[in-house]
Amino acid sequence: MPHPDRFSITVPPQARYLKPLRAFSSSLLADRCSPDADLLVLALDECCSNIIKYRCASLGENQIQVHIEIQDDCVVFRIGSFCKTDDLPMIKSRHPREDRPGGLGIHLIAEIMDRVAFEPEPGRPECMALILEKRFHTKNSPDE
């Protein structure tokens, strides 16, 4: 099995750094993940926007850590220290027409990605990383 390509970027949790984060991820994904690249960038951007809006300061994190792993048949994003374990019940998708704030970004992420999961950060069980995975569908994919 070929080695995956791995990339990482760390940015401060401020809205003005979303654009360079999008540019970085777009440059990596454009060639390998077409035609889904734009949507993958959107999903990643929504995750980081959620961190900026909601991540509790008590996590003690002052950076957004994004890891991107591109394999032949999928791409995996790992967003470090996404939330506290206690926050998980509050992270809910909502139907776009539902009249309550928040949740639309989560809805878009769920629409775009094949897998959305949380896993504890090593040595920090109170702190969860967000894992997103998108499989590439080729002509030989069994579900095509």
For residue 64, the surrounding DSSP H or E stretch is: strand 64-70
> In this complex, which beta carbon is closest to other proteins, that of residue 17 or of residue 124?
17
Phi, psi of 114 (to 5 degrees): -85, -30
Q: Which of residues 104-123 bind other proteins (CB under 8 A)?
A: 104-105, 107-108, 111-112
> In this complex, which beta carbon is closest to other proteins, that of residue 2 or of residue 35?
35
Cβ 46 to other proteins shortest distance, Å: 6
Cβ 56 to other proteins shortest distance, Å: 18
Q: Which of residues 7-66 bind other proteins (CB under 8 A)?
A: 15-20, 22, 38-39, 42, 45-46, 49, 52-53
Collapsing DSSP to helix, strand or coil, 3 comes out as: coil
Q: Is the peptide bond before 20 cis (omega within 30 degrees of 0)?
A: no
A 10 A CB-CB count for 100 gives: 9
Phi, psi of 120 (to 5 degrees): -65, 145
> In this complex, which beta carbon is closest to other proteins, that of residue 72 or of residue 98?
98
Interface with other proteins, residue 100, by CB under 8 A: no
